[in-house]
């Protein structure tokens, strides 16, 4: 079988002036009160395990008391900019439940868990080092896929909303074997469409942990959709069959 491994590790590309102007024109370039490098000043961390006690390759970080309050307030402001155009009325009801740091992969992102204390609902967003390839990938996903994406770029920092869904590797291992024949047929069709979208836009490295499955329950059946969650390998790999 032909080797489909990625041949080269992709470097990080800085945001060019033209790309920055494009982002500003479409309201993607917004000033934020905290940068990726600020979050690197954590004092320690503990390993995050999943419900089966497997290492998730994320660590939960903590900061000095004199920095933590400022960092958490800044993250609340980022959340407001990302989701409510900067409206700060909800700040008293928001709590930063966790700041996790990923030790795996190129981007080494921070995952921020924000909880609304009124209804106990929570969501995530990611703080990453800005990389032009990823920004192009996010914008192409927003334009060419059926789903919209919300992200912000400011100087060397990228803020990216969380894409909900079941990780592909988890779905294949735990849920797919129990799907009905018709559901498997529908999932296969979705994989064909997902593969075509990735190929047309040259989005590579769609291994099973780089996309999610989103099930939608509709009366007597479940509709499955597939969404990419990693856009690091946008238009980089030279081997076409990677896409």
Residue 2 clears pLDDT 60, i.e. is over it: no
Domain boundary (123, 139, 161) is at 161
**Domain identity same for 216 and 137:** no
**Domain identity same for 110 and 171:** no
In a domain, 9, yes or no: no
If pLDDT is split at 50, 70 and 90, which confidence band does 54 have?
confident
Residue 116 clears pLDDT 70, i.e. is over it: yes
For residue 107, the Cα-to-chain-centroid distance in whole angstroms is 11
pLDDT of res. 145: 84
pLDDT of res. 221: 85
pLDDT of res. 124: 94
**Domain identity same for 105 and 185:** no
In a domain, 10, yes or no: no
Structure tokens at 174: 């735990």
Domain boundary (161, 181, 196) is at 161
- In contact, 158 and 135? CB cutoff 8 Å: yes
**Domain identity same for 85 and 200:** no
Per the structure, the complete domain to which residue 58 belongs is given by: 17-161
Q: Count the domains in the chain.
A: 2
Residue 42 clears pLDDT 90, i.e. is over it: yes
**pLDDT tens-digit map of 128-168:** 999 888 898 899 888 888 888 899 999 899 999 999 999 99
**pLDDT tens-digit map of 170-190:** 999 999 999 999 999 999 999
In a domain, 53, yes or no: yes
Structure tokens at 107: 């981007």
**pLDDT tens-digit map of 182-231:** 999 999 999 999 888 888 877 877 888 889 999 998 888 889 999 998 88
**Domain identity same for 208 and 184:** yes
Whole-number mean pLDDT of the chain? 87
- In contact, 185 and 65? CB cutoff 8 Å: no
In a domain, 6, yes or no: no
pLDDT of res. 100: 96
**Domain identity same for 140 and 198:** no
Residue 243 clears pLDDT 90, i.e. is over it: no
pLDDT of res. 86: 76
Burial of 60 (C-beta count, 10 Å sphere; 0-12/13-18/19+): middle
**Domain identity same for 55 and 136:** yes
Residue 1 clears pLDDT 50, i.e. is over it: no
Domain boundary (161, 185, 214) is at 161
What Å distances lie between residue 226 and 180, 192, 201, CA to CA? 18, 10, 16
């Amino acid at each position: 079988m032909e080797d489909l491994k990625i041949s080269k590790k992709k470097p990080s590309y800085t945001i060019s002036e033209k790309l920055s102007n494009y982002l500003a024109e479409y309201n993607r370039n917004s000033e934020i009160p905290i940068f990726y490098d600020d979050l690197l000043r954590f004092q320690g961390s503990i390993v995050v395990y999943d419900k089966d006690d497997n290492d998730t390759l994320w660590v939960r970080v903590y900061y000095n008391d004199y920095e933590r309050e400022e960092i958490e307030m800044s993250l609340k402001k980022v959340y407001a900019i990302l989701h409510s155009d900067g409206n700060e009325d909800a700040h008293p009801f928001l709590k930063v439940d966790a700041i996790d740091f990923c030790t795996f992969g190129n981007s080494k992102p921070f995952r921020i868990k924000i909880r609304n204390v009124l209804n106990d609902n929570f969501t995530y967003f990611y703080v990453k080092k800005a990389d032009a390839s990823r920004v192009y990938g996010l914008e192409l996903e927003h334009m060419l896929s059926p789903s919209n994406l919300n992200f912000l770029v400011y100087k060397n920092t990228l803020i990216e909303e969380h894409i909900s869904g079941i990780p592909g590797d988890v779905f294949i291992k735990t849920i797919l074997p129990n799907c009905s024949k018709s559901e498997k047929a529908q999932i296969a069709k979705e994989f064909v469409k997902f593969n075509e979208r990735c190929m047309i836009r040259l989005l590579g490295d769609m291994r099973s942990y780089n996309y999610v499955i989103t099930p939608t329950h509709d009366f007597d059946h479940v509709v499955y959709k597939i969404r990419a969650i990693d856009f690091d390998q946008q238009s980089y790999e030279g081997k076409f069959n990677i896409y």
